């Protein structure tokens, strides 16, 4: 006999036995009436015995057309709140809820009850109780809703008489019915998985039981696993039943208390009868999980990789990162150092390469640690997140400006800062190579190379060792080309020999550095406006003045150096004190509002670009329009190049206008948790990301990170 059939017989028998007993009037111990709900308390026993549990039934009876809520109320509502006032030594367990029902309200899905329902609560007295009436009290709050929602309250007090714990015959039917409405313990093993794209519940159900299942629905106790209004696709196979739900948010960080899934699986059998089963299953992250069945979601290719593929992709991405424009100034510096050390010997070249690699690996490891710390604190972060801070952008610009002045010959770093004694030159060279690696990491973060997005998207939900391994692999890829040249003599021999031209070349290298400074100042202006930009320019002027003062004082004795020190303090202290006011640590909202308005005649104006939001995207999709969304940031050079090459193309603009394609811009220049979560939903940890939503309402397509007019035209005209 199948389990589903057995359980139904058990329920019917239990109810018949209860109803066959003598029935007395069901008088509550206490009751309270509200405008839309009546709450009553019933005790299963007439007396209470020391140390023996006492079961209470809290019956909520809403008015017709109104409903109350389950412990997880769904998209909106509130679960009942119970606050007990008990004598010392007494305990009250959490209430047991009946199997809930779905209550759709517009686009939302709520879980609750439209008919009278009883919550069961177990009170346990201590091993010794006084031989006199015992005072118990409950303060309850709950929400009852129809077209409007009303919070209701009740303070109920009652007494229990000490005794042998005699069962009240008149309560048998009430408690039998209340227990029959509870979900049963599941006879099947179950497990659950979650990713950015989907949630899956796998139930190991035998074929005979699965053959009786007509449909199924899962009510999660855990909050935030998936959208409650999303359809739940159920499939049956050799391994039993699988329930799959598409997700549109990042996979939650599973803490210790989240690793067990709790909920109720309601199964409708072939006769149309519903039965609820209590599920307690291990819940794990599975980045390969996607929701493809029944058109429920999107194909998130970035999630369908394993650990070794992610590490390999990170390595390849790091190598390609050397070709990105944001890394060019630092590569210029390293090229100069290689040429300068042409005759220094095999050992010196290798040491220089290892020091450079150590600087990069330490920096990437530090970035990984910061990422883990912020993720653990609940922050939404991604690749290049530090450049969302105007203060960080300013500091990097100042450092590079000083470096440019050094290359131009305006000053030299004194050997006193590198050390003294024998071997000073080697020590200075290694430390310089190390910090050049650090600088390479800093300026590399605005760029996202091919393969990087998949690797970083995979790392986003992984444990700490995996995250650090992927960040380290990315750093190794960035360092690898220079290390290869440092270790392979044949490659070094391809470089030109040192000579008098090196002084000119050194000064030339200052210009790409200054170009990077200009770009960073442009980013700062976009983040915090003209005032911040003007103040940063004033700081650069002050730095140049300080360098000039120290250049004059360097060879003029102690008194001149004291004067230089005083002038430095006079200039820098007011600057530092007011930097937070003019530049700030957070980007200004006013600047964002201005940026959201495309300039007349620009490609954004011709494309009628609007600011992205989930609500705007959904509104356009419901209207039947194709939607193109581009996730970008002003500090992302890859993004800006793609936009100038592809979005500004006249054929692309015509295709957008002719095909009524809606174009939305998700600007991540400044911190935006909604954008970070949307990136995570598509397995990405940074920008750029390009999505095309077809007009037929089907799943969005993730486009290539290297955007071309031909690629966009194929989608817009397809």
Do 480 and 348 belong to one domain?
yes
User: Alpha helix locations (H) across 345-419?
Assistant: 346-376, 390-407
Separation CA 173–CA 201 (nearest Å): 35
The answer to whether 351 and 430 are in contact (CB under 8 A) is yes
- At 558-590, the pLDDT tens digits run 666 677 677 776 666 666 555 554 555 455 544
> DSSP assignment of 220-237, as one string?
ESSSSSS-TTS--EEEEE
> What pLDDT, on the 0 to 100 scale, is given for residue 102?
94
> Looking at residue 602, which CATH number applies to its domain?
3.40.30.10
Residue 442 has pLDDT above 80, yes or no: no
> Looking at residue 225, which CATH number applies to its domain?
2.60.40
Asked which of 75-79, 108-112, 495-499, 552-556 is least confident by mean pLDDT, the reply is 552-556
Do 208 and 328 belong to one domain?
no
The structure's pTM equals 0.49
Do 352 and 493 belong to one domain?
yes
> What pLDDT, on the 0 to 100 scale, is given for residue 213?
86
Separation CA 156–CA 84 (nearest Å): 10
Q: The domain containing residue 109 runs over which residues?
A: 23-181
Is residue 561 domain-resident? no
Can you say how many angstroms the Cα of residue 468 is from the centroid of all Cα atoms in its chain?
18
- 434 pLDDT band, cuts 50/70/90, is confident
> What pLDDT, on the 0 to 100 scale, is given for residue 290?
59
Do 177 and 190 belong to one domain?
no
> What pLDDT, on the 0 to 100 scale, is given for residue 36?
94
Can you say how many angstroms the Cα of residue 4 is from the centroid of all Cα atoms in its chain?
40
Q: Which residue has better confidence, 6 or 172?
A: 172
> What pLDDT, on the 0 to 100 scale, is given for residue 217?
95
Residue 329 has pLDDT above 80, yes or no: no
Residues 6+ positions from 480 with CB-CB distance below 8 Å? 315, 318, 319
Separation CA 112–CA 101 (nearest Å): 5
**Which residues are paired to 69 by β-bridges?**
112
Last residue of a domain, one of 244, 266, 297: 297
> What pLDDT, on the 0 to 100 scale, is given for residue 287?
65
- 298 pLDDT band, cuts 50/70/90, is very low
Do 402 and 508 belong to one domain?
yes
- At 260-295, the pLDDT tens digits run 899 999 998 877 788 999 999 998 877 666 554 333
Residue 516 has pLDDT above 90, yes or no: no
The answer to whether 172 and 21 are in contact (CB under 8 A) is yes
Phi, psi of 592 (to 5 degrees): -60, -40
Minimal CA–CA distance to 436: which of 356, 516, 326, 515? Answer: 356
Helix (H, G, I), strand (E, B) or coil at 704: coil
Residue 80, judged by CB atoms within 10 A of its CB (0-12, 13-18, 19+), counts as buried
Separation CA 318–CA 93 (nearest Å): 55
**Which residues are paired to 203 by β-bridges?**
190, 241
Helix (H, G, I), strand (E, B) or coil at 589: helix
Minimal CA–CA distance to 689: which of 673, 675, 710, 674? Answer: 675
Q: Which residue has better confidence, 321 or 8?
A: 321
> Looking at residue 82, which CATH number applies to its domain?
2.60.40.1250
Residue 519 has pLDDT above 60, yes or no: yes
Last residue of a domain, one of 272, 297, 322: 297
* The most confident of 55-69, 209-223, 463-477, 694-708, by mean pLDDT: 55-69
Do 239 and 325 belong to one domain?
no
The answer to whether 620 and 612 are in contact (CB under 8 A) is no
Do 202 and 163 belong to one domain?
no
- At 599-649, the pLDDT tens digits run 677 888 889 999 999 889 888 988 889 999 999 888 777 788 888 889 989
Do 291 and 327 belong to one domain?
no
Separation CA 63–CA 559 (nearest Å): 91
> What pLDDT, on the 0 to 100 scale, is given for residue 129?
92
Residue 416 has pLDDT above 70, yes or no: no
Characterize 84-98 residue by residue with b for buried, 16 or more Cβ atoms within 10 angstroms of its Cβ, and e for exposed: eebeeebebeebbbb
Is residue 567 domain-resident? no
Do 169 and 207 belong to one domain?
no
Separation CA 471–CA 361 (nearest Å): 8
- 368 pLDDT band, cuts 50/70/90, is confident
Do 501 and 617 belong to one domain?
no
Separation CA 443–CA 435 (nearest Å): 12
Residue 31 has pLDDT above 80, yes or no: yes
Separation CA 396–CA 404 (nearest Å): 12
What is the average per-residue pLDDT within 246-265? 69
Do 254 and 269 belong to one domain?
yes
Number of structural domains found in the chain: 4
Residues 6+ positions from 422 with CB-CB distance below 8 Å? none
Q: Which residue has better confidence, 114 or 392?
A: 114
> What pLDDT, on the 0 to 100 scale, is given for residue 704?
84
Is residue 461 domain-resident? yes
The pLDDT mean for the chain works out to 79
- 338 pLDDT band, cuts 50/70/90, is low
Last residue of a domain, one of 139, 157, 181: 181
Separation CA 409–CA 503 (nearest Å): 9
Q: Which helix (H) or strand (E) holds 521?
A: helix 501-553
Q: Which helix (H) or strand (E) holds 560?
A: helix 557-582
% of the chain beyond a pLDDT of 90: 28
What is the average per-residue pLDDT within 313-317? 88
- Number of separate helices (H) and strands (E) present in the chain: 20, 25
């Amino acid at each position: 006999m199948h389990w589903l059939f057995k359980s139904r017989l058990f329920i019917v028998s239990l109810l018949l036995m209860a109803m066959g007993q003598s029935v007395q009037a069901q008088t509550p111990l206490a009751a309270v009436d509200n405008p839309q709900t009546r709450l009553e308390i019933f005790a299963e026993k007439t007396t209470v015995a020391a140390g023996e549990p006492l079961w209470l039934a809290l019956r909520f009876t809403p008015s017709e057309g109104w409903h109350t809520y389950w412990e997880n109320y769904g998209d909106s509502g509130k679960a009942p709140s119970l606050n007990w006032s008990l004598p010392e030594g007494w305990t009250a367990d959490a209430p047991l809820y009946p199997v809930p029902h779905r209550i759709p309200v517009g686009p939302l899905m709520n879980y609750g009850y439209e008919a009278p329902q009883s919550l069961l609560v177990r009170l346990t007295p201590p091993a010794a109780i006084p031989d006199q009436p015992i005072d118990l009290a409950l303060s309850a709050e709950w929400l009852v809703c129809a077209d409007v929602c009303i919070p209701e309250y009740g303070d109920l007090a009652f007494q229990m008489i000490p005794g042998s714990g005699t069962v009240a015959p008149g309560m048998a039917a009430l408690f039998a019915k209340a227990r029959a409405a509870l979900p049963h313990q599941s006879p099947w093993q179950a497990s659950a998985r979650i990713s950015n794209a989907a949630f899956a519940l796998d139930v190991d159900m035998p074929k005979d039981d699965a053959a009786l299942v007509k449909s199924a629905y899962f009510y999660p106790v855990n909050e935030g696993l998936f959208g409650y209004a999303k359809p739940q696709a159920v499939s049956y196979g050799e391994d039993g039943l699988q329930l799959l739900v598409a997700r549109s948010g990042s996979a939650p960080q599973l803490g210790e208390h989240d690793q067990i899934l709790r909920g109720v699986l309601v199964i409708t059998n072939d006769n149309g009868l519903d039965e609820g089963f209590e599920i307690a299953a291990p819940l794990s992250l599975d980045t390969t999980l996607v929701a493809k069945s029944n058109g429920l979601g999107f194909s998130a290719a970035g999630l369908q990789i394993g650990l070794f593929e992610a590490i390999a992709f990170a390595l390849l991405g790091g190598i390609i990162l050397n070709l990105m424009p944001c890394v060019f100034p630092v590569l210029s510096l390293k090229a100069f150092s290689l040429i300068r050390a042409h005759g220094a010997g095999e050992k010196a070249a290798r040491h220089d390469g290892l020091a450079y690699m150590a600087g990069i690996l330490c920096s990437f490891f530090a970035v990984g640690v910061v990422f883990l710390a912020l993720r653990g604190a609940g922050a939404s972060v991604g690749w290049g997140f530090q450049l969302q801070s105007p203060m960080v952008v300013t500091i990097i610009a100042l450092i590079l400006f000083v470096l440019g002045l050094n290359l131009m010959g305006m000053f030299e770093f004194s050997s006193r800062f590198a050390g003294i004694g024998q071997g000073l030159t080697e020590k200075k060279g290694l430390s310089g190579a190390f910090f050049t690696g650090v600088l390479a990491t800093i300026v590399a973060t605005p760029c996202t190379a091919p393969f990087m997005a998949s690797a970083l998207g995979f790392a986003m939900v992984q444990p700490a060792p995996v995250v650090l391994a992927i960040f380290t692999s990315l750093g190794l890829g960035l360092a690898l080309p220079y290390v290869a040249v440092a270790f392979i003599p044949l490659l070094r021999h391809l470089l030109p020999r040192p000579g008098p031209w090196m002084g000119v070349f050194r000064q030339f290298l200052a210009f790409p550095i200054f170009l990077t400074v200009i770009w960073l100042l442009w980013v700062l202006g976009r983040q915090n406006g003209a005032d911040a930009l003007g103040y940063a320019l004033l700081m650069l002027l002050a730095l140049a003045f300080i360098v000039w003062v120290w250049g004059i004082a360097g060879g003029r004795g102690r008194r001149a150096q004291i004067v230089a020190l005083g002038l430095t303090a006079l200039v820098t202290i007011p600057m530092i004190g007011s930097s937070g006011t003019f530049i700030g640590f957070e980007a200004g909202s006013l600047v964002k509002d201005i940026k959201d308005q495309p300039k007349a005649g620009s490609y954004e104006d011709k494309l009628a670009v609007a600011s992205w939001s989930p609500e705007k995207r959904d509104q356009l999709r419901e209207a039947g329009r194709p939607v193109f969304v581009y996730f970008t940031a002003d500090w992302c050079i890859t993004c800006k190049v793609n936009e100038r090459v592809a979005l500004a193309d006249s054929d692309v603009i015509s295709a957008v206008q002719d095909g009524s394609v809606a174009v939305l811009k998700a600007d991540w220049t400044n911190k935006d948790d909604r954008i970070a979560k949307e990136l995570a939903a598509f397995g990405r940890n940074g920008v750029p990301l390009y999505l095309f939503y077809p007009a037929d309402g089907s799943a969005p397509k993730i486009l290539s990170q290297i955007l071309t007019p031909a690629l966009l035209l194929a989608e817009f005209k397809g």
